[in-house]
Amino acid sequence: MGLNRSTILAATAELSAAGLVSEEAPGDTGRRGRPSLVVRPEPGRAHVLAFDVAVDRVVAARVDLGGTIVERHEAVRPRAGADLDRVVEALTRFGRQLHRSAPAGSTCVGLGASYCGMIRPGDGMVRFGPELGWVDQAFGAELGRRLGLGRPVIVGNEAHLGAQAEQRRGAGRGLRNLVYLHGDVGVGGGIIVGGTLLDGDGGYGCEVGHMVINPYDGRPCGCGSRGCFEAEVGERALLDTAGRPADEFGRDAIRAVVDDAVRGDPRASDAVRRVGDWLGIGVANLINLFNPAMVIFGGMLRDLYPAAAATVQRRIATNVLPVARERIRLRICDLGDDATLIGAAELGFEELLSDPLATLARTGDRSLG
Amino acid sequence: MGLNRSTILAATAELSAAGLVSEEAPGDTGRRGRPSLVVRPEPGRAHVLAFDVAVDRVVAARVDLGGTIVERHEAVRPRAGADLDRVVEALTRFGRQLHRSAPAGSTCVGLGASYCGMIRPGDGMVRFGPELGWVDQAFGAELGRRLGLGRPVIVGNEAHLGAQAEQRRGAGRGLRNLVYLHGDVGVGGGIIVGGTLLDGDGGYGCEVGHMVINPYDGRPCGCGSRGCFEAEVGERALLDTAGRPADEFGRDAIRAVVDDAVRGDPRASDAVRRVGDWLGIGVANLINLFNPAMVIFGGMLRDLYPAAAATVQRRIATNVLPVARERIRLRICDLGDDATLIGAAELGFEELLSDPLATLARTGDRSLG
């Protein structure tokens, strides 16, 4: 979390005094010197509510301090026409259920949300959410107000949160430089540079989906441009290239094409190869730019990448400078479709972990210990 | 420099005690509270030797603590066939002259070098320097050995150093997120993310020149790929598109095309427009990825950008998501052709500024104060 050792020690002591974690001696570590104590979260003492507004569903969950999803509610969401009011209403209903069903001894220490669009840091404003047609919608403030739990909702972009979740608890554990790609209708990116999420001047960095790689002959993109990475490798590119009808969409449709390709169907195989080549071109660019230790594929790219891996690897061998690909690893994400939700939960826990006593004081419940 | 306040105060006190800087009260700052003292370098007390191996020249200079180039030697360099031995020999000769001519009271506190290729951090090994045909050449170690000044030469990539110099002393002063593009035969990049140079897992990040933007119809690139950013906007792309003969090259040739375009010559204008469009495509991608506060053009892009600015701006308006371009500024570099040399000098000063007493002890001259 970018905290230094003395801050961690102080926070751990406070969490331990409050009964939220216990410290125990580790087993034989095989290393010299006095081993650090292992900090384990005490189950059932503190939780957050985590929300996920994805392209095809809304999810809410109660997540404990160890990152375990204890209870979840989920609803499919119409692809278009979901306005702020309807989305917030569904999440509020789920959130209240989760709050009521929390065990008596557990305190809600934070609220975090993931959203499939560009988020203004600080107030959770959705600046641009093309999948739902949102521009400048006060999502975080509105969800916080309706939940009425006396806490703000911290909102992040889904691919940013997926990257952070995979770095803390998934395929990229402990890596200081990684690229996480989240595919759905479009392709979002979360890029960890030197241990920290690349946010840029206004918090709007990592927009890998709109890196143009085919400017003159490319497919039109939802952003108004042409030949964007997400136009060439997003859901519609694969389904169109495979000749699937325009009314098919979503993860099941993607998996059907991939399954057909694996079985040797020529049209599906050709589609996976052609879209896989564009995927490789984009991934190679990102490796040249970021020299990451790992590229992680999430969302529908979890399904596409394994079938297209050889094509992607060929592009990397051709397009990436040798010294930048010496140690590169490519993986599908460990946390599956929960990567973004787990990332939202981490947002909710951030305040507690950086300042335990003040956060617990604000919960109005100092009696946890 | 990424140092915290207490480290800076301690270092300043040591520098002041050693007579390298003086502290004075500032004039009226117009702000409340006790103003910080202004630290000014004492002229003629400490210097570094800075070296620059660029695509068309080798340069060596003595630079004082304030970043002023006090004396310089420069030689044109043949574009190909300059081996390690010849380059190091020329730089060593310059370095010894600069050392001899330094004023008696001034101490050499560091040696820094800029190189137009990919550098391994730590030992200054040139991993890949296509402009000179170098692969795995121990440049830093060899230059340090031959100079015989008892100090290592710290080596960095020219565009990385240009970015840092522009951030500390040039167009990007004080910005925490910026992209610096250095054009010559190819295009190098230096990208500052959250105040720090993006180095990646092995120190080989920022390779913007090999971001592929025209994979199927693009110009062949020196790296073996096709349609790389530098293949589409480098020196050869502009000269070929303008119909200049193959034996013309270098900055004068670039300026001649730009001048012709500004005068209305149709073929030169068309070349600036077409290459400017590719420049815009690449710059737009970088803005989407990094959400920087500023993009700075250095090297030959200093000459090209002003003539192609309208074309580049059009691409940004089309290809960059609105929220990511709200505050973007595009500038040519402030430090001109010395950006990389100044960056090399900063490398040389880094050790002194982070640990003054230890560095001065190593110079064998504690009597400065």
CB within 8 Å of A226: residues ≥ 6 apart? A212, A214, A215, A216, A218, A219, A220
Residue-wise pLDDT tens digits, A216-274:
999 999 999 999 999 999 999 999 999 999 999 999 999 999 999 999 999 999 999 99
- Residue A145 backbone phi and psi in degrees, to 5: -65, -45
* Cβ-contact B292, B198 below 8 angstroms: no
- Closest alpha carbon to A113 in A143, A86, A90, A89: A143
Alpha-carbon separation of residue A317 from A232, A233, A280, B130, B367 (angstroms): 20, 19, 10, 17, 56
* Cβ-contact B340, B114 below 8 angstroms: yes
Residue-wise pLDDT tens digits, A193-218:
999 999 999 999 999 999 999 999 99
* Cβ-contact B229, B278 below 8 angstroms: yes
Q: By the CB < 8 Å criterion, does A326 face chain B?
A: yes
Residue-wise pLDDT tens digits, A315-335:
999 999 999 998 999 999 999
Domain ranges across chain B: 46-161+338-362, 174-333
* Cβ-contact B230, B116 below 8 angstroms: no
Mean pLDDT over B128-148 rounds to 93
Contacts of B205 in chain A (CB under 8 A): 177, 289-291, 324
* Cβ-contact B188, B197 below 8 angstroms: no
* Cβ-contact B219, B230 below 8 angstroms: no
Q: What is the pLDDT of residue B338?
A: 93
State the nearest Cα–Cα gap between A87 and chain B, in angstroms. Answer: 23
Q: What is the pLDDT of residue A97?
A: 96
Report d(CA B202, CA B204) in Å as an integer: 6
Contacts of A233 in chain B (CB under 8 A): none
Residue-wise pLDDT tens digits, A167-195:
999 999 999 999 999 999 999 999 999 99
Contacts of B191 in chain A (CB under 8 A): 289
Instruction: Name the CATH code of domain A175-333 (choices 3.40.50.720, 1.10.260.40, 3.90.1150.10, 3.30.420.40).
Output: 3.30.420.40
Give, as one character, the DSSP assignment of residue B94: H
A352: tokens are 């507690």
Domain B46-161+338-362 is of which CATH architecture? 2-Layer Sandwich (3.30)
Interface of A with B in 237-296 (CB under 8 A): 281, 284-285, 288-293
Of B105 and B158, the one with more pLDDT: B158
B324: tokens are 């990511």
Report d(CA A363, CA B6) in Å as an integer: 34
Q: What is the pLDDT of residue A48?
A: 96
User: Does residue A365 have a pLDDT over 60?
Assistant: no
User: Does residue B6 have a pLDDT over 90?
Assistant: no
User: Residue B85: enclosing H or E segment and its boundaries?
Assistant: helix B84-100
Q: Which CATH class is domain B174-333?
A: alpha beta
How is the beta sheet containing B196-197 ordered, strand by strand?
Answer: B196-197, B187-193, B178-183, B294-299, B329-332
- Closest alpha carbon to A113 in A353, A348, A352, A363: A348
* Cβ-contact A319, A284 below 8 angstroms: yes
A346: tokens are 């981490």
Q: What is the pLDDT of residue A242?
A: 98
Residue-wise pLDDT tens digits, A263-282:
999 999 999 999 999 999 99
Q: What is the pLDDT of residue B153?
A: 96
Contact at CB, B202 and A324, closer than 8 angstroms: yes
Contacts of A201 in chain B (CB under 8 A): 175-177, 291-293, 327
Which chain B residue has its CA at the smallest distance from A289's CA? B206
Say what percent of chain A tops pLDDT 90.
75
Q: By the CB < 8 Å criterion, does B317 face chain A?
A: no
Alpha helices in chain A (DSSP H): 5-17, 84-100, 139-147, 158-169, 229-233, 235-241, 250-262, 266-290, 301-319, 339-354, 356-362
Q: Give yes or no on whether B46-161+338-362 and B174-333 have one common fold.
A: yes
Q: Determine the residue among B187, B290, B295 to mutate to test chain A binding: the one whose Cβ has the most chain A Cβ atoms within 10 Å.
A: B290
User: Does residue B27 have a pLDDT over 70?
Assistant: no
Helix (H, G, I), strand (E, B) or coil at B183: strand
* Confidence label for A32 from pLDDT (cuts 50, 70 and 90): low
Mean pLDDT over A303-317 rounds to 97
Average the pLDDT over each of A44-48, A85-89, A162-166, B32-36 and give the range with the smallest value: B32-36
Contact at CB, A284 and B212, closer than 8 angstroms: yes
User: Does residue A102 have a pLDDT over 80?
Assistant: yes
Say what percent of chain B tops pLDDT 90.
75
- Residue A200 backbone phi and psi in degrees, to 5: 80, -170
Report ipTM for this prediction: 0.90
Q: What is the pLDDT of residue A27?
A: 64
Query: How many alpha carbons lie under 13 Å from residue A101 in its C-beta half-sphere?
Result: 14
* Cβ-contact B284, B319 below 8 angstroms: yes
Residue-wise pLDDT tens digits, B166-182:
999 999 999 999 999 99
Mean per-residue pLDDT over chain B, rounded: 90
State the nearest Cα–Cα gap between A121 and chain B, in angstroms. Answer: 12
Residue-wise pLDDT tens digits, A34-77:
666 667 777 778 999 999 999 889 999 999 988 899 999 999 87
Q: What is the pLDDT of residue B3?
A: 59
